Amino acid sequence: MKLKIKIVGSKVHYVGYRVFLLKHAMNLALPGLSTYNWEENGQQEVIALVEGNEARVTAFLQTVEKNKPKLAEVSKVTFEDYDGDVGRTSEVAMLFSFVQLDKAIPLLLDMRDDLKAVRKNTDMIPQISEDIKAVRKNTDTIPQISEDIKAVRKTTDATLDEIKGMREDIQPGYAMQFRQMQADVRVIKDRLGIA
């Protein structure tokens, strides 16, 4: 028995439909299957030519009518008797393998190039390690810097007290404003975590 099955829809190309058909034909051990994409009246079509005993062809047709690839959008499935040549299912499987390999090779080459770029970037790791060591050496001076800051703070406090005294001599009311300003400075220092 031979059938020509036409699957029509807005999205039946490039959704894995022909591989889907091949898988089901192989599961049913159909000896003959040819598939191709077609477009007619603005609609995408997948044509499947099927050959085998009546029970298997009927089972295949039922599968095609009830199932579709996940991303496919099908509006109708029609079929008719067919009396032309039908290719061997095994030949279609081999062709699909070559087509998929043809798609995969450029992707694999891109991946290879990306891997080379990653390797090139990892060559800089020893230099980064040396930079980290240099930063660590510079951080060894932090205790001394901390002592220097404490000394400056002591001098600053003494200077502020001296200025306070001078201002009190100049303007008695100004001392109260200065004390408020000092309190504000202390609040800000506390918020910033400065002792």
In this structure, of 8-12, 95-99, 142-146, 156-160, the range with the lowest mean pLDDT score is: 142-146
Other Cβ atoms closer than 10 A to 194: 11
The residue to which tokens 């699909």 are assigned: 96
Question: Given a cut of 90, is residue 24 above it in pLDDT?
Answer: yes
The percent of residues in the chain predicted with pLDDT above 90, rounded, is: 44
Task: Judge whether 122 lies within some domain.
Answer: no
Specify the pLDDT at position 135.
72
Domain end (from 32, 67, 89): 89
Residue environment code for 27-44, b if the CB has 16+ CB neighbours within 10 A, otherwise e: ebebebbbbeeeeeeeeb
Q: How many domains does the chain have?
A: 2
Specify the pLDDT at position 178.
66
Specify the pLDDT at position 99.
81
Specify the pLDDT at position 118.
79
> How far apart (Å, rounded) are the C-alpha atoms in residues 147 and 152?
9
Of 188 and 30, more confident:
30
Task: Judge whether 63 lies within some domain.
Answer: yes
Task: Judge whether 146 lies within some domain.
Answer: yes
Task: Judge whether 81 lies within some domain.
Answer: yes
pLDDT tens column, 162-188: 777 665 666 556 566 667 778 888 888
Specify the pLDDT at position 130.
78
Residues 6+ apart with CB under 8 A from 42: none
Q: By three-state DSSP, how is residue 29 classified?
A: coil
> How far apart (Å, rounded) are the C-alpha atoms in residues 163 and 120?
62
CATH number of the domain enclosing 68: 3.30.70.100
Specify whether the CB–CB gap between 21 and 95 falls below 8 A.
no
- Widest pairwise Cα distance in the chain: 119
Specify the pLDDT at position 141.
65
Element (H, E) at 33: strand 32-40
Give the pLDDT band (50/70/90) at residue 98: confident
Task: Judge whether 99 lies within some domain.
Answer: no
In order, the DSSP letters of 107-135 are HHHHHHHHHHHHHHHHTTHHHHHHHHHHH
Task: Judge whether 102 lies within some domain.
Answer: no
Amino acid in the structure at residue 68: K
Task: Judge whether 50 lies within some domain.
Answer: yes
Instruction: Find the mean pLDDT for residues 83-104.
Output: 87
pLDDT tens column, 108-164: 888 888 888 877 777 666 777 777 777 777 666 667 777 777 777 777 777 777 777
Specify whether the CB–CB gap between 20 and 68 falls below 8 A.
yes
Specify the pLDDT at position 167.
59
Specify the pLDDT at position 54.
95
Q: Is the pTM of this model over 0.85?
A: no
> What residues make up the domain containing 164?
135-192
Question: Given a cut of 80, is residue 43 above it in pLDDT?
Answer: yes
Specify whether the CB–CB gap between 53 and 29 falls below 8 A.
no
Specify whether the CB–CB gap between 26 and 89 falls below 8 A.
yes
Could you tell me which of 18, 10, 64 has the C-alpha nearest to residue 37? Answer: 18
